[in-house]
Structures are given as C-alpha cells and as structure tokens.
Amino acid sequence: MVVLFYASCRKNEAKDPIDAINKKDISVKMAKGLYESFTGANSSIKKTAASKEGVKAVNTTQCGLSTDSVVNTTINVAADATKYTVTGHINIKYICDQNNWNTIGYTLTDSLHTVRSTPVSSEDATVVDKYDAITKNYNYGVVTVNGVQKSHIIFTSNYPSPVTTDQNNNFTLQNMVVEAFASKSADITSGNALFVVQGKINGNAYNFSGNIKFLGNHKVLVTFLDEAYNVNLLSGEVTAAK
C-alpha cells in the first residue's frame, strides 16, 4: 500500500504542470493567431485578395501560372509604439475550372516570419502555409480554404507579470470560408481547423488537440478533449461553452 500510494503521488506531481496550464488563454491565442494569419494586414490571403481583385476578368493564359513574391516590410504603429517586421516568401499557382478554363482559385505556399515588439511585450512568429483557396465570385473577396498551416510562436510579456510562451501549432484547415472584404472587418464565417498544439509556458509543458469551429461574426468555438470555449476574435473575450 505504501508503494502504491507513493507511486500515485508521484503521478499526480507529474501532472500538475500540465493541469495548471490555462486552456482559456491558449484558446484565445491560438484562435486569434489563426484568424489574424488569414485576415490581418500582413496576412498572405489578405494581400493576395487585395492584389488579385481584378482577376475576375482573367484570361486562359493565366491558368496554371505560378508567381513568386519576396516579402520584406516594416510597419510602425505610432498609437501604441508597436513595430512589425515581416519577411519571407509567397508562391501562388492559379487553379482553373477544367470545364471553361476560368481561374477559380489558387494554391498558396508561403513562409512568413513576423517580429512584433511593444513597450511591454514581444512576439516572434513563423507561419508556413500550404492550402487551396477556391472562389465562386472570381474576385477573391470570398474564398474556401482547405489545406494545412504550421506555426511556431514565441511570446514574451513583462506586464502584468513576466511570462514566456513557446508554442507550436499544427492546423488542418477544412472548408474555411474567408471573407477578406467583409463590411465590418475581415471574417472567417464557417469551417473548421483541427489542431495539435504543443508548447511551454514558463517552462511548464503542454500538449493538446482539438478543433476550432468558425461560427461567423468573428466568433469561434474551441473544443479540447474535455473542455470547450467560445472566443470573440475581435475583443479576445472568452467564456466556457455550455
């Protein structure tokens, strides 16, 4: 009995660091990070949508065309002293409708490295995408996305208390409908992102899997194996799902 009791205590001790991880915080960071990678000012899909808005009149010579772009830009936000530096590359290969040879979408392969700094925090993020984005309206304002995204994000904050998060995300994107030019703000109105997330918060390791379900109106449901949370992608508000 003594041996069994000791072993049980040791198992509980081993679980404490993982049990102490706040899944609410992970839900917000993970969902907002994925959302912003598709809709933010520096996102590959937002830039693609903006630069290819006139492709509705594309001719057949662009079917199968592949283009490469190098990204190297710095943005300073004076209001809150935030600085962004974005580097990397984007490859776009157009997908054609085999019946009438209209361009109906593209395969995007990219790797973008973003460094963000503020007076109280810093973030170093590498995002690698490979997905198909198919449009029905030929202007890329609304696309349906299927594919994968991998990201590695290191976040350090000094306020209200020092914390460092080092996290790897693996997303499988399933029928995500991205509205790049929504009237209020770019939105992901439906679809799912299966995830496997691994990382450390101040040295405490965690490993979770689950699903992000996009509900529209900038809201998602993040479901782990044993918990679920509603997240507002604009405000960051998070509540336990009933």
Q: Print burial letters for 63-98: b (CB count within 10 Å at least 16), e (below 16).
A: beeeeeeebeeeeeeeeeeeebebebebbbebbbee
Side-chain half-sphere exposure of 219, counting CA atoms within 13 A: 9
**Following CA atoms 216, 168, 238, 225 in sequence, which dihedral angle do they give, to the nearest 10 degrees?**
90
pLDDT at 138: 62
Q: How far is CA 141 from the centre of its chain?
A: 19
pLDDT at 227: 94
Return the pLDDT at 49.
66
The whole-angstrom separation of Cα 26 and Cα 242 is 18
Domains in the chain: boundaries = 2-240
Give CA–CA dist 39/178, Å, rounded: 8
The angle subtended at Cα 43 by Cα 228 and Cα 66, nearest 5°, is 120
Specify the pLDDT at position 84: 84
Element (H, E) at 194: strand 187-201
Identify the pLDDT of residue 183: 61
Mean pLDDT by 10 residues, the chain (242 residues): 34 44 88 88 69 47 77 83 88 82 85 91 94 78 92 91 92 94 81 96 93 96 95 94 84
Q: List Cβ<8 Å contacts ≥24 apart for 146-153.
A: 146/173, 146/174, 146/175, 146/176, 147/173, 148/172, 148/173, 149/34, 149/37, 149/173, 149/193, 151/33, 151/37, 151/125, 151/126, 151/127, 152/125, 152/126, 153/29, 153/33, 153/123, 153/124, 153/125, 153/126
Question: What pTM was estimated for this model as a whole?
Answer: 0.83
